[in-house]
Amino acid sequence: MKDFDAVLLAGGESIRMGTNKALIGYHGVPLWRFQMEKLIQLGPDQLFFSTQPGMVFPAGPWTFVHDRTPNLGPLGGLQAALRLARVDFLVTLAVDMPAMTAAFLKSLLEKAGPAGVVPRLEGFYHGAVAVYPIKILPLAEQVLAGNDRSLQHLIHEAIKAGLMAVEEIEPAKSGLFENWNLPDDVKRTCIRSF
């Protein structure tokens, strides 16, 4: 198994949800803990927890990281973790994707090297659930300094530079990539889960 670090991306503002997504209850625990357990199962060298400054979460086997500049989206959390990472790869997981599994993340990690790996489903790069090479940090900082700070843009540039490879996802696995943005998303997921 490769040496890797991991980060839970939970630093968003959750404006459309109306409440902090990380704190929503799911299967008897806050969503952040439900997701963090998946990363713990993988056994990373270091575990990071990307949160908004001022948010209070319990201490654990993770290091808290914050965007250097507020409101940069998931790329800000990725940059913060990359700056502290000490091994070749960084696994990312978004807090608002509860259907994602540790097994899928492990399969991505096994496919990484020397480039990182990003899943692509119907033309969309799911950069919040990916394996990044640590050497992508300068490119991430370059993208953050520009006008288009999206993960889509970073990944597009990283693929051109040979830093990321693409894992095509069959439509049958699309459920893994559902994310919670609105209260109705939570209701639909919870109805299917019980």
Tell me the CATH number at 152: 3.90.550.10
Is residue 73 within 8 Å of residue 149, measured between CB atoms? Answer: yes
CA distances (Å), 26 to each of 2, 22, 127, 160, 190, in order? 31, 10, 23, 39, 8
**Residue 183 preceded by cis peptide, ω within 30:** no
Mean per-residue pLDDT, 105-121: 95
Quickly state the pLDDT bin for 160 (edges 50, 70, 90): very high
Burial class (CB in 10 A: 0-12, 13-18, 19+), 179: middle
What is the per-residue pLDDT across 88-97, written as a single tens digit (0 to 9) for each? 999 999 988 8
pLDDT of residue 15 exceeding 70, the answer is no
Q: Report how far residue 28's alpha carbon sits from residue 50's, in angstroms, rounded to the nearest whole number.
A: 22
Quickly state the pLDDT bin for 112 (edges 50, 70, 90): very high
Whole-prediction pTM value? 0.87
Q: What percent of the chain has pLDDT over 90?
A: 57
pLDDT score of 191: 37
The total number of structural domains that make up the chain: 1
Domain that holds residue 56: 4-193
pLDDT, mean over the chain: 85
What is the per-residue pLDDT across 46-89, written as a single tens digit (0 to 9) for each? 999 988 877 788 889 999 998 777 677 788 889 999 999 999 99
Quickly state the pLDDT bin for 14 (edges 50, 70, 90): very low
Is residue 12 within 8 Å of residue 21, measured between CB atoms? Answer: yes
